[in-house]
Structure 1
Amino acid sequence: MTWTPIINPMPSMILSILIALLPILTIFWALIIKKMKGHHASILATLVAFLIAFAVYQMPAKLAVLATLYGFIYGLFPICWIIINALFLFNLTVKSGSFIVIRHFIASITADRRLQVLLIAFSFGAFLEGTAGYGAPVAITAAMLAGLGFKPLYAAGICLIANTAPVAFGSVGIPISVLSQVSGLSETALSQMVGRTLPILSFVLPFYLITLLAGIKNTKAVFPAIFVSGISFALLQWFSSNYLGPTLPDIIAGVGSMLALILFLKYWQPKHIWHFEGEQTATVSAKKHYSKQQLLKAFSPFLLLTLFIILWGLSPIKSLLDQLGSIEISMPGLHQVLANDQGVPLSKIIRFNYLSTPGTAILIASLLSLPIIKFSFKAALSTYVATLLQLKYAILTISFIMGFAYLLNDSGITLTLAMAMANTGKLFPFFAPILGWLGVFITGSDTSSNALFGKLQYETASKIGVNPVVAVAANASGGVVGKMISPQSIAVAAAGGGLIGQESQLLRFTIKHSLILLFMISLLVFMQAYVWEWLVPTT
């Protein structure tokens, strides 16, 4: 016996849409208006979603509880497992004194806060997104900026906004691969289409970030450096996505733009070093010479992180690790009991791929770095416990948000909102990115959003006579700007930036920028559908 969700549970579709919006509006109300802590807001939103799923969508209470629990488990593993180990690695560099060397090295490249944002939040963050993903980039870069002396709110908020450009190609291109599988469209065509939309955002984003950080006047003062950062990233992202596929754009663009900016800064520096108001210039611009051996030692945790994440991303190694260490358990009472809106039973498998998950790669890199940075295992264990305590509320927030997301999806609430956008007719190309944005806001993942809405985008575009590649790719492109306001991402950034319990501040900081950039992408997609059709690759 299976249970099939109802897409239109109320007498009219408008009423169904209003009811379906309530759980999402609850999060905004709790964080923005009531200024609740993240874990309190996520628990409240889950309770509201449960009541609506049970009372309005007629989902059996047992299934609603199990669907929430299934998402809660996924939040703990692999998501929290990755984030815990990413922050543990960073904390090791701080506790061992290595981060002092890193801080001085970055200051030797530039002591200017504007340019440090481009190097760390934008370029290095993109590289981490391309290798690890799952929140690790924001956790590490926010912690790095905070460690450099950035105000915690700016450190976390800037890193959330900077993490938009690389998301669609994150984790070695998994979001595009999933989108291809779900929609049936060519992976190459989707990579090319996303690669003809996001480079525009990638070029604009450095200007946007620095204007947000320092104002227009101070942005003009470093225009050449911003241009080098943005244009190198955009061109490399465009080239790799169009000619090499979806696996390498973030890695190539992230490393390439970082090297381009470092090389440029050897020959050009701003006339005035910009720092935060009230910040002492001496502490910002202090430089100290370190030998290559000292630098290699200090950066060894991040170098090992890069090596192991790349190795873990290779298919043969990933397959071998899955064979050696992976457990699959059918979710009792849920597997093959829930169905999709077509009545097809859904597989609900709990996968503990404890060896092949990126979180394990990060942990191994951290442990192997201990003898290099001369840090004892006992001290590392103490640091790991401290990291767990640091993240305790973030873990609770992420786990409940994933339970919330799975409940919304399995009950049919998300499908109601998706069908509302699908019924916008010829305007649908404008709303296609908004659907992806909504999916990432709910699930915290572009991959999950693509799995959720990829087929719907394809079918809707086909019905209204728009090339499906445009709409399906728009799901990934629109999703990237939903990442900065997803409660899951907010919780990770708050943990990395030292703002746990202040998630409401972060959401208020990012939401306006998410909507501005979403509007820009929606316009681009609309133009691609009806005016710039020559931009669309052939399938």
Structure 2
Amino acid sequence: MYVQELEPVHGSLGLSALVAALPLVIVLVLLGGVRVKAHRAGLVGLLAAVLVAWLAYGMPLGQTLSGGVQGAAFGLFPILWIVVNALWVYRMTVRTRHFDVLRRSFGRLSDDPRVQALVVAFCFGALLEALAGFGAPVAICSVMLVALGFDPVRAAVVSLVANTAPVAFGAMGTPVVTLAQVTGLPLDDVASVVGRQTPLLALIVPLLLVGLVDGRRGLRETWVPALVCGAAFAAAQFAASNYVSAQLADIAAALVGAGALVAVPHARRPAGEPVRASVLTGVRAEGLDARDPVREVARAYAPYALIVVVFSVAQLPAVKDRLAGATRTYDWPFLDVVSADGERVGGNVFTWPVVATGGTLVLFAGMVTAFAIGVHARMAVKEWLATVRELRFALLTVTSVLALAHVMNLSGQAATIGHFVAAAGAGLAFLSPVLGWFGVAVSGSDTSANALFGALQVTAARESGLSPELLAAANSSGGVLGKMISPQNLTIACAAVGLAGREGDLLRTVLPWSLGLLLVMCLIVVGQSSPVLGWTLP
């Protein structure tokens, strides 16, 4: 049995937290500073995490390595499982040229690339986040923007930044459901507070997106549709999370936001040639004005409609219970870890959701898609294998980063960092979102960050006299801003648009926006912990 220790370095929580943070710091420096390729940075960071766990924390080497293998397994399933299948669906639509039809359909909605970024990355991306999550929105929206003529780097950056406001309620509310489970707080209470924080981000992100696409001119000329889209999204997310269902918050927000955007006359005005010339590459010009038969347009939308239908049906109570019945749980070999409080950690057990996971549902939707758009079974299998080959370096990056995260979690490194932040006392309200941000930056998942730090946030809140619901929600709301800098998401974005090996370039571009939005969220939480914004809480 390995018992986690919170202060292994000279009995000092501060020094221990400094040592514990080394693996993540190494990964970020290698990516953003030294410009090492992501899969190599991930492997170096994993080695650092193993050495810290073994030498500084005294975790037996066998258990350390076993924990890393479990993290790699989790990286393959369910995370990469959904990315592979989502990109497979996309490849089939490209093969049959239905993606060109979809591209022209979006192009006819508006030829303004700034509005297209809002429609595709913000609204459609939020819908994909609601239904699938785990990197699928970044993967699919990036390639859609490239197909519309965006420069690959700009497309990836826009998709990464857009994938923020919907994340807390993504994958049918999985992050907030997990947060409620690990904290023991009622789901409605937690979802209600999160629904009064992330909508404030939704007001900012669309404006930020049009600025990323076209600078100050983009803000000056398209601030009206961006603000309307963000306000409608925020209102719908707030209403659904507080008065309807956390699981439906992002679906409602995405649809209402898109509807409001389309209803703005300004959004449908033609963009000037200087705008298109400065934002788009020459790819967009080919065949964009062609008229497609209604039947072909319907077939082009079919894959995404099928994904919506399959995920919606899977949430029906009877179907959900039936799918969950196939889930298998195993005692993970060579792991026997107990927390500093004497409780067995969840990592001792590995859960394999064979059917009740987004990747399997997307795979099923992809099979139906192949039939709907006329892809032969042999060609569908060939495209799936080609997708795996295309993602081979992404596979290595994600598995190494998730292995790193599991080693940090199981050895107690993450708990040390969490307790160090929680000891901030009066500054806890400000630092609470930072803890969630750190958790997502390491794991790439708001769900994982909530599982890791949610209970700690509640304990710290009660000791400091703050609202447990507020700090628990802050963990999730701050976490969504770490998504754009997580190595696995950076790798997914690069793989999707053909920029393999340029994860460091993307990190340097999105990191300032991640930190800037995190500061905004920290100030929101501080305000809600005081009379300044305390009235916004239920």
* Shorter-chain TM-score above 0.5: yes
**Partner residue, 1:255:** 255
> How many residue pairs were aligned?
533
Greater Cα shift, 472-481 or 344-353: 344-353
Q: Which whole-Å CA distance do the structure 2 matches of 1:451 and 1:493 have between them? A: 25
Q: Which whole-Å CA distance do the structure 2 matches of 1:271 and 1:390 have between them? A: 35
Amino acid at match of 1:110: S
**Partner residue, 2:48:** 48
Residues 86-105 of structure 1 aligned to structure 2 (within 5 Å): 86-105=86-105
- The one-character-per-residue Cα deviations of 1:195-238 (angstroms, maximum 9, x if unpaired) are 11111110111001111221112221112211221111111111
Q: Per-residue deviation at 1:441?
A: 0.8
**1:322 matched to 2:324:** yes
Amino acid at match of 1:5: Q
**1:200 matched to 2:200:** yes
**Partner residue, 2:6:** 7
Q: Which whole-Å CA distance do the structure 2 matches of 1:55 and 1:267 have between them? A: 58
Residues 488-527 of structure 1 aligned to structure 2 (within 5 Å): 488-527=488-527
Q: Which whole-Å CA distance do the structure 2 matches of 1:232 and 1:393 have between them? A: 39
Q: Per-residue deviation at 1:266?
A: 8.5
Q: Per-residue deviation at 1:268?
A: 4.4
**Partner residue, 1:344:** 343
Q: 1:271 to 1:79 in 2, by over 3 A?
A: closer
**Partner residue, 1:305:** 307
- The question of whether the paired residues in 1 share the 8 Å contact of 2:191 and 2:241 is answered with yes
Q: Per-residue deviation at 1:346?
A: 2.8
- The one-character-per-residue Cα deviations of 1:312-354 (angstroms, maximum 9, x if unpaired) are 233321221232x3333221111xx111221212342333322
Q: Per-residue deviation at 1:464?
A: 1.2
**Identity across aligned pairs (percent)?**
35
**Partner residue, 2:149:** 149
Q: Which whole-Å CA distance do the structure 1 matches of 2:250 and 2:360 have between them? A: 21
Q: Which whole-Å CA distance do the structure 2 matches of 1:224 and 1:321 have between them? A: 44
Residues 330-409 of structure 1 aligned to structure 2 (within 5 Å): 330-334=331-335, 337-347=336-346, 348-409=348-409
- The one-character-per-residue Cα deviations of 1:515-534 (angstroms, maximum 9, x if unpaired) are 00000000000010012222
SS, match of residue 247 in structure 2? coil
Q: Which whole-Å CA distance do the structure 2 matches of 1:377 and 1:300 have between them? A: 18
Q: Which whole-Å CA distance do the structure 2 matches of 1:306 and 1:54 have between them? A: 45
Per the normalisation by structure 1, the TM-score is 0.96
Q: Per-residue deviation at 1:61?
A: 0.3
Residues 92-491 of structure 1 aligned to structure 2 (within 5 Å): 92-265=92-265, 268-270=268-270, 272=272, 274-277=275-278, 279-280=281-282, 283=285, 286-323=288-325, 325-334=326-335, 337-347=336-346, 348-491=348-491
Q: 1:272 to 1:179 in 2, by over 3 A?
A: same
Q: Per-residue deviation at 1:13?
A: 2.5
Q: 1:267 to 1:180 in 2, by over 3 A?
A: closer
SS, match of residue 351 in structure 1? strand
- The question of whether the paired residues in 2 share the 8 Å contact of 1:168 and 1:477 is answered with yes
- The question of whether the paired residues in 1 share the 8 Å contact of 2:139 and 2:492 is answered with yes
Q: 1:178 to 1:271 in 2, by over 3 A?
A: closer
Residues 58-97 of structure 1 aligned to structure 2 (within 5 Å): 58-97=58-97
Q: Per-residue deviation at 1:270?
A: 5.0
Q: Which whole-Å CA distance do the structure 2 matches of 1:465 and 1:36 have between them? A: 44
Greater Cα shift, 42-51 or 225-234: 225-234
Q: Which whole-Å CA distance do the structure 1 matches of 2:284 and 2:495 have between them? A: 28
Q: 1:276 to 1:457 in 2, by over 3 A?
A: farther
Structure 1 gaps, min length 5 = none
Q: Which whole-Å CA distance do the structure 2 matches of 1:279 and 1:135 have between them? A: 25
Q: Per-residue deviation at 1:289?
A: 2.3
Q: Which whole-Å CA distance do the structure 2 matches of 1:90 and 1:54 have between them? A: 43
Per the normalisation by structure 2, the TM-score is 0.96
- The question of whether the paired residues in 2 share the 8 Å contact of 1:108 and 1:288 is answered with no
- The one-character-per-residue Cα deviations of 1:68-122 (angstroms, maximum 9, x if unpaired) are 0111111111111111000000111111110111111111111111111000000
Amino acid at match of 1:197: Q
- The question of whether the paired residues in 2 share the 8 Å contact of 1:107 and 1:284 is answered with no
Q: Which whole-Å CA distance do the structure 2 matches of 1:281 and 1:329 have between them? A: 49
SS, match of residue 351 in structure 2? strand
Q: Which whole-Å CA distance do the structure 2 matches of 1:485 and 1:166 have between them? A: 16
Q: Per-residue deviation at 1:280?
A: 4.7
